[in-house]
Copies of this chain bind each other. A is one copy, B any other.
Amino acid sequence: MLDTGFYPKWTERAPEKGTYRSILKWGDPNEFKHPNSRLYKMMKEKLNMTDDDFKEKQKEGNEPVSYDIPIKLSKYQIDQFKDFVGEENASIDDYSRLRFSYGKTMIDILRLRNGIVENVPDVVLHPRDKIDVQKIVSYCNEQKIPIYPYGGGSSVTRGTECVKGGISLVMTTHMNRVLEINETNQTVTVEPGLYGPAYEEILNNAPKKLNTRRKYTCGHFPQSFEYSTVGGWIVTLGAGQQSSYYGDIYNIVVSQEYVTPAGTFKTMDYPATATGPKINDIMKGSEGSYGILVGATLKIFRYMPENRNRFAFMFSSWEDTVNASREICQAEFGMPSVFRISDPEETDVGLKLYGIEGTPLDTLIRFRGYKPMERCLCIGHTEGEKYFSENVKKKIKEICANNGAMFLTGYPVMNWEHSRYRDPYMREDLQDYGIMIDTLECSVMWDNLHKVHQGVRKYIKNRENTVCMTHASHFYPQGTNLYFIFIAKMNDIEEYKKFQYGILDQILKSGASMSHHHGIGKMIAPWMENHIGKEQLDVLKALKRHFDPNNIMNPGGTLGLDLPEEEKRKIK
């Protein structure tokens, strides 16, 4: 396709306050990242679009939020809440009610662009501390008023959506403090509404800010890092981009404090115990359906960026890439920190995104025989003590070389680092022209990786003019995750849902887990019973009955705990 010289006028203006767009836009209102010209060209090719498709924007959501959904709580009840948290920490305006219900799923975005408002809470509350939360939970339990905890709002599972009305409980406004650092134990205790950057910043600067001897890092860096909270990470079982080294959030959390209808408790701080099933672990991943997380103690790690080593490789095939990755995870020299392998289609896009396409390096890669749409990119970091970190890189280079890979220096990784939190900004640009870009992810044991990859890809690629990029980015000796990014010209909600359901069906059928690190929320809930089996879902329901007998905690589907029979998705 010829380079026509045309390049779309991407939006470069912060959304107006009070508009739907101000809710749907990712991240900082004044930050933008646009597809570069290579990516734009590629989209036209792959999605079968022309410059004309990029001349007029569609449904930008620039209208002011306004709707007519009555508040079901009585004035008396609302006054009670105001009494608990203070008048200034309770809102009932249209904007707040919508802003603190929707998350960042494709369905949320499409609804916002279309001005579709549903499932808003009656009141938005901003508790100031644990005592406020206790009063709210106790009163809601007595009055049977639903409560929906709201962290950074980056949920891609409809996790925060207030489908039964009631209260949206915003944890970020006040409950965002670092309470204590314990340098002897290498732990820190925080409130759940603390955002990633504020958390990392205080740890990196701990000697100044917390009077410690050393600098620290939190070790948890999901793509949503800038707009997600510590509490959100924990209750949805997140994993950061460096989880292969630092562990998933499940491994990082030492103890937690919860306010539940059945009481308030803090799990104990021990490095390990043999005192029965671990309550601390039972609560992780409960997605607000058992209680409200009000505090957490987490492991921290020494901040040693000077020991970081970067690497990138090009492999001839996906099989070689996977084989090398498995060997890296099983050879017992320690794990890399960032580690990310891209399948051929993602590699093709990655070379454009990370600024490799068209460079002499690109020429060299082609010259060396790594063929487009067969070759696979691998990028990563090592971390830790100096010699440990060096040895991990050295062993990775050996294994990759043994699997026919070409070393690409650390350059592509630095480009990736630069954009690691910025790619989501491109979503608005694409959607302005009716292009859907979304992701689904799962986890696999090594022996099932190819089946899942092929099965899901086949389903997605079966739709014409649809991009499907896959990577694995969280590694374990027993397997990894698979992360699918799909792009298509599509802006009809029903069409989108049908397509997405098909992908989720395929993930289930192929034997992968239904989520590696996004959680279940209300979006994947219909698959839960089929996925984990009735006996095991019944265990989660038994816990639910114990903690929340009146079903006030994030009700309406979360984790499939209270889903009516007809809403369950049954595949065989």
Interface residues of A (CB under 8 A from B): 182, 184-187, 236-239, 248, 250, 254, 262-265, 267-279, 281-287, 299, 301-302, 304, 326, 330-334, 383-385, 387-388, 391, 394-395, 443-447, 474, 476-481, 512-520, 524, 528, 531-533, 535-536, 538-540, 542-543, 545-547, 559
21 pairs from A and B in contact (CB 8 Å cutoff):
A185-B479, A186-B330, A239-B272, A262-B535, A271-B444, A271-B477, A271-B478, A272-B481, A273-B513, A275-B515, A275-B532, A276-B285, A277-B283, A277-B540, A279-B532, A332-B388, A333-B385, A334-B388, A387-B394, A388-B391, A391-B391
CB distance from A303 to the nearest CB of B (A): 11
A498 to B542, CA, bound (A): 39
Q: Is the CB of B271 within 8 A of A480?
A: yes
B265 touches A276 (CB 8 A): no
Given A187-B478, A481-B272, is A542 in contact with B536 using a C-beta cutoff of 8 Å? no
Chain B residue at minimum C-beta to C-beta distance from A517:
B274
Q: Are A254 and B478 in contact (CB under 8 A)?
A: yes
Residues of B within 8 A of A546 (CB): 538-539, 542
- Chain B residues positioned under 8 Å from A239 (CB to CB): 272, 274
| Chain B nearest Cβ from A281, distance in angstroms | 5
| Distance of A388 Cα from B479 Cα, bound (Å) | 22
Chain B hits for A543, CB < 8 A? 277, 539, 542-543
Complex: how many Å from CA A387 to CA B391? 7
Q: Given A385-B333, A543-B539 in contact, is the A519-B274 Cβ separation under 8 Å? A: yes
Of the candidates B274, B299, B528, the one whose C-beta lies within 8 Å of that of A236 is B274
Contact yes or no, A270 B542, CB < 8 A: no
> Chain B residues with Cβ under 8 A from A533's Cβ?
265
Instruction: Specify which of A283, A332, A394, A546 lies most central, judged by the most chain B CB atoms within 10 Å of its CB.
Output: A332
CB distance from A76 to the nearest CB of B (A): 30
Residues on B with C-beta less than 8 A from A326 are 184
A272 contact from B248, B262, B538, B539, Cβ within 8 A: B248
Query: A275: which of B238, B281, B514 is its contact (CB, 8 Å)?
Result: B514
Find out whether the CB atom of B387 lies under 8 angstroms from the CB atom of A275: no
In the complex, what residues of B have CB within 8 A of residue A383's CB? 332
CA distance in complex: A16, B276 (Å): 37
What is the minimal beta-carbon distance from A252 to any residue of chain B, in angstroms?
A: 11
